[in-house]
Amino acid sequence: MQYPQISARAQRFMLWWGYSLMVVFGLSYGFLIKLIPLNPATDTALQVAAFYRENAASIRIGAVICSWVAAFALPIYVVLAAQCSRLEKGVPVWSMLQFGGGMMMTIFLVLPPLFWGVAAFSPDRAPEITLIMHELANLTLTTTDQYFIFNMVPIAYLALSRRDHPLNPFPRWYGYFVIWGALMFELGAFAFIPRSGPFAWNGLFVFWFPFCIFGVWMTITMIVMLKAIRQQEAMQANGAG
Amino acid sequence: MPAEPADARRIPGEAGIWVLIGGDLSAFSAFFLVFAYYRGFDPALFAASHRQLDHGIGLANTLILLTSSLFVALAVQRVRSGREGAAIWLRLALACGGAFAVLKAVEYAQKLSAGITPLTNDFFMYYFAFTGVHLLHVVIGSGALVFAIGASRQQASAERTMIVECAAIFWHLVDLLWIILFALFYLAGGHG
Amino acid sequence: MDRTDRRLLVRWAFLVSLTFASFESAWGLGWMRNPVVAIAIVIGVALIKVRLVILDFMEVRRAPLALRLALELWVVALAGGILGLWYAAGA
């Protein structure tokens, strides 16, 4: 059977493009915006305003850099969609859902640095106004689980159901790992409820779990995809793919 | 060549599913320990809140899930030995999952209509959050059972057995997580 | 019903009776005078049940030793962790 060929070089380029922008994003978020982890949700308006006043320059520089790099996941999702679509017959609906979910999800990593930059833009405004922008940024970062599910369920489904497909790029355990990741990301939405403890926006389940699992997931995805692309290249060279 | 001994050790389901099981056990362990830790800040509040839970519903749900686990285990035996009836046991287990979800919804509705929400206090925040995440597992487990019912009607094969086993393992996970949630929220509130 | 089925049925009956026993120790009369003992029974029984579900329903009893050992250790560690935190704060 003949499968549509895709360029190994283009895929590799997109993966590294996305991943290196992610590293830049992480560095500017951590060292310039300085909100890893987020400030406690119990801070008063005055404390929040003081934070933005004292760090105004670095937060705004961080926002500039994030304006360039925050949509880093997009090319990675394109490669995933290309790989998934070869596992489907006819119109690749699961791959389309996967890509749509991933594409929308990137927006919620674009918005928080934008909002932090806005908060730091006018250090002398009334503190309550800065506070609401700060809250909007933090809750946008932590609670936006809407699209993950549409991104991750199709990947898990295709990974696990196309067991004997010669082009399946996903190991079995990766499918199960994605299901677990999708479940864990759902915890973030609880940030609307408490101001302290593990479900607050700087807490274990809302901040650290999704933050770490996202990083691990992206890294594992990179490794799995690069390995699959190498194998497919070999198959194409043998005229089998 | 000697036949494989009947008690040969093998990985239940397939290796990959244990990534999911291990990940979930770790996450829920963190839930349980967080609950025990934050109880320490206000044992009296936790004890009083615990007495507001409907422990009859909690007990019923525990028995429902235990029974569903038995049904699923019986189905696995049937699929493995090529006997009839696996799909029936799986459907019964699925019905148990539905009953669990209905009782949970009744319980949530009771709490909300009594003015008890996740915002009431820490105990109820953890109660709604942890049982909510568990309920999500019930939904996913039900999906896995539906998948297994489909597989159980196919021709006997190693793959068919593997699919049913994996769905079963996930369903037992749903059961065992509830056993601990039941003990922590409904039984171990303290009697102060 | 063959032998394996009957064994599963017996296991289930045992789990159900453990459930009632721990329920009784938490809510029934007489048992609850000593909260230190009651919490140990409640958590201990729950994790014994969990262990049996893992071994007999998930069939880990005959899984490779590393998997079985990891899960057995997990059960013990979790019981220790919960009870430790509980007693640290005062039962």
Amino acid residing at B170: F
Residues of chain C found within 8 Å of residue B8, distances taken between Cβ atoms = 62
Residues of chain A found within 8 Å of residue B23, distances taken between Cβ atoms = 177, 180, 184
Cβ distance B136 to A183 less than 8 Å, yes or no, reads yes
Instruction: Tell me the pLDDT tens digit for each residue of A221-235.
Output: 999 999 999 998 888
A95 versus B156: which is more confidently predicted?
Answer: A95
Number of domains in chain B: 1
Structure tokens at A103: 């594409």
- Could you tell me the pLDDT band of residue B107, with boundaries at 50, 70 and 90? very high
Amino acid residing at C4: T
C56 three-state secondary structure? helix
**Residues across chain B:** 192
Q: State the pLDDT at residue B2.
A: 47
Distance from the B83 Cα atom to the nearest Cα atom in chain C, whole angstroms: 11
Distance from the A192 Cα atom to the nearest Cα atom in chain B, whole angstroms: 10
Interface test with C, best of B11, B52, B187 (most C CBs within 10 A): B187
pLDDT at residue B1 is higher than 50: no
**pLDDT 10s digit of each residue in chain C, 91 long?**
788 899 999 999 999 999 998 887 777 654 566 778 888 889 999 999 999 999 999 999 999 999 999 999 999 999 999 999 999 987 6
Structure tokens at C26: 């938490």
Q: Any CB–CB contact under 8 A between B63 and chain C? A: yes
Cβ distance B125 to A193 less than 8 Å, yes or no, reads yes
Residues of chain B found within 8 Å of residue A177, distances taken between Cβ atoms = 19-20, 23
- Measuring CA to CA, how many Å separate A8 from each of A4, A83, A99, A222? 12, 11, 19, 14
The region, left, alpha or beta by phi > 0 then psi within -120 to 50, assigned to residue A48 is alpha
Number of domains in chain C: 1
CATH number of the domain encompassing residue B147: 1.20.120.80
* Residue A58 and residue A33 in contact, taking contact as beta carbons nearer than 8 Å: yes
The mean per-residue pLDDT over the stretch B56-84 comes to: 95
A residues 148..207 contacting B (CB < 8 A): 163, 171-177, 179-180, 183-184, 186-187, 190, 193-194, 197-199, 204-205
Owning domain of residue C15? 3-88
* Residue B16 and residue A176 in contact, taking contact as beta carbons nearer than 8 Å: yes
Distance from the B110 Cα atom to the nearest Cα atom in chain C, whole angstroms: 21
B8 lies in some domain:
no
- Measuring CA to CA, how many Å separate A62 from each of A39, A210, B34? 17, 22, 34
Structure tokens at A133: 């922008």
> What share of chain B has pLDDT > 70, as a percent?
94
**pLDDT 10s digit of each residue in chain A, 241 long?**
556 677 899 999 999 999 999 999 999 999 999 999 999 999 999 999 999 999 999 999 999 999 999 999 999 999 999 999 999 999 999 999 999 999 999 999 999 999 999 999 999 999 999 999 999 999 999 999 999 999 999 999 999 998 888 889 999 999 999 999 999 999 999 999 999 999 999 999 999 999 999 999 999 999 999 999 999 888 888 875 4
